[in-house]
Amino acid sequence: MPFRLWEFDLAVRYLRNRRANGGITVIAIISYVGVMLAVTALIAIMSVVHGLQGQLLGNHLIFNSHVDIAGAAINDPQTRDAMVARLSRVDGVTSVAPYLQLAGIGAASAGNANIYVRSGKDDALQKAGIDQYLVAGSLDAYTRGDGVLIGSDLADNMGLGVGDTLSVTVPVGSGLDLTSSSATYIVSGIFRSNAGRVDATYVYLPWRAAQALLHRNGKWDVVELRTDNPYRVDRMLSDLKRAAGPNSHVVSWKDRDKVIWQALKLEETVMRIILFFVTVIASLSIIAGIVMLVKNKARDIAILRTIGTGKHSIARIFFLSGAMIGTAGTFSGLILGVVIVTWMVPVQKALNGLFHVQTGLVGAAYLPARLDVIEVVFIVIGVLVASCLCALVPALSAARLEPVDALRYE
């Protein structure tokens, strides 16, 4: 049976009654504030978690592909150009570029270090947007083939700066034919990705210099793809496999970096569960408020039952009282949470400018936040359901109260 208007009116009157039952109003306010703050915290914290994940993966994926294609197909000169063209036409693909890569050793005046040599053909680095991560030098010399790019941690460890020389040695051949190849390059740029392994080991060589150093003229190690949404790359794999053709091996970054991806998802899941239980605990205060309301309104319940009001109406009245507290707290928390997330970065900038307070984390000027609309909808629905369930328990208890029992001590 639907809720009646008089039931709404009576539920509101019970919550607003201050003269005789001030304690009920206080508990209702406390319950409302508790639910509001819990929803606000859940939205704000999960938005920060999403923001940090996006920043971490964004920095990592700028210097690594979204999809790798390897296998015999990429080293067949007669078919690989056509394969690259097919891959470029797949919906969602933003760039396709062959890469050479190999582990080696870097040497400078300050010492040696393990490095990872990478090289993208043509304007692969420009398309990836690596220029915005440069902290010294530029891409000009690299584009001309006159210089190399190195990570900031590698530069610090080896005492290198723009204009210094770096000697690179890599293994070439295999088995009994294994030997080494060395060359010296001028550092033309230093980048900082805030992804530890990238900054500490990556060295980018111009394409022709890498082919000469690695003895791989006409050969590719991998074809790297970038997409407009790396989080949905799984949906593209079937199309990419068809475009790559036979004798190809297609791997997404989620499979290649499975440990990182699973760790981030586990962290997100655990954080979501913990915060949701905090929200449920805050909703439980609704039970205490409605139980006290039922106890103090026992005489009213008896009178209503005597004049013919049914048990279902009594249950609906007290259920509405609790549901109103939960609903008001939920939507107030929704508004406050969205406002906090929206203004989080501007407020951090203002604090940093006024008081020189560092509000970000290592590698980030400001604490990032990204509002996930779908998750916010689930948060609102979940808290509303929890609040309604908490209100239902004492409401059913009120419906079972008999007039004789309610008036026994009146």
Residue bearing tokens 């407009």: 228
Q: Is the pLDDT of residue 123 over 50?
A: yes
Contacts of 86 (CB under 8 A, 6+ apart): 243, 244, 245
- d(CA 391, CA 396) in angstroms, rounded, equals 9
- d(CA 198, CA 151) in angstroms, rounded, equals 7
- pLDDT number for residue 190: 92
At residue 182, the 3 state secondary structure works out as strand
Kindly report each contact of residues 361-365 with a partner whose C-beta sits within 8 Å and lies 24 or more positions away, as own/partner.
Answer: 361/52, 362/194, 363/59, 363/192, 363/194, 364/55, 364/194
DSSP secondary structure string, 349-400?
HHHHHHH----S-TT-SS------HHHHHHHHHHHHHHHHHHHHHHHHHHHT
Q: Is the pLDDT of residue 361 over 70?
A: no
Contacts of 54 (CB under 8 A, 6+ apart): 368, 370
CA atoms 21, 23, 25, 28: torsion sign = negative
- pLDDT number for residue 321: 86
The mean pLDDT value for 16-26 works out to 61
CA atoms 352, 355, 356, 359: torsion sign = negative
- Say which range, 35-39, 178-182, 315-319, 353-357, has the weakest mean pLDDT: 353-357
Helix (H) and strand (E) counts for the chain? 16, 10
The mean pLDDT value for 13-27 works out to 65
Q: Is the pLDDT of residue 21 over 70?
A: no
Q: Which residues pair with 99 in a beta bridge?
A: 120, 222
Model confidence over 51-92: pLDDT tens digits? 888 887 877 788 888 999 988 888 888 888 889 899 999 999
The mean pLDDT value for 367-384 works out to 87
- pLDDT number for residue 362: 46
- pLDDT number for residue 51: 85
- pLDDT number for residue 401: 75
Higher pLDDT, 65 or 24: 65
Q: Is the pLDDT of residue 381 over 60?
A: yes
- pLDDT number for residue 204: 92
Mean pLDDT (the chain, rounded): 83
pTM: 0.73
- d(CA 346, CA 206) in angstroms, rounded, equals 40
Model confidence over 148-171: pLDDT tens digits? 999 999 999 999 999 999 999 999
Helix (H) or strand (E) holding 212: helix 207-214
State both tokens at 167: 């000697």
- d(CA 106, CA 104) in angstroms, rounded, equals 7
- d(CA 335, CA 43) in angstroms, rounded, equals 10
Q: How confident is the model at residue 22 (pLDDT cuts 50, 70, 90)?
A: very low
- d(CA 129, CA 226) in angstroms, rounded, equals 11
- pLDDT number for residue 357: 53
- pLDDT number for residue 172: 86
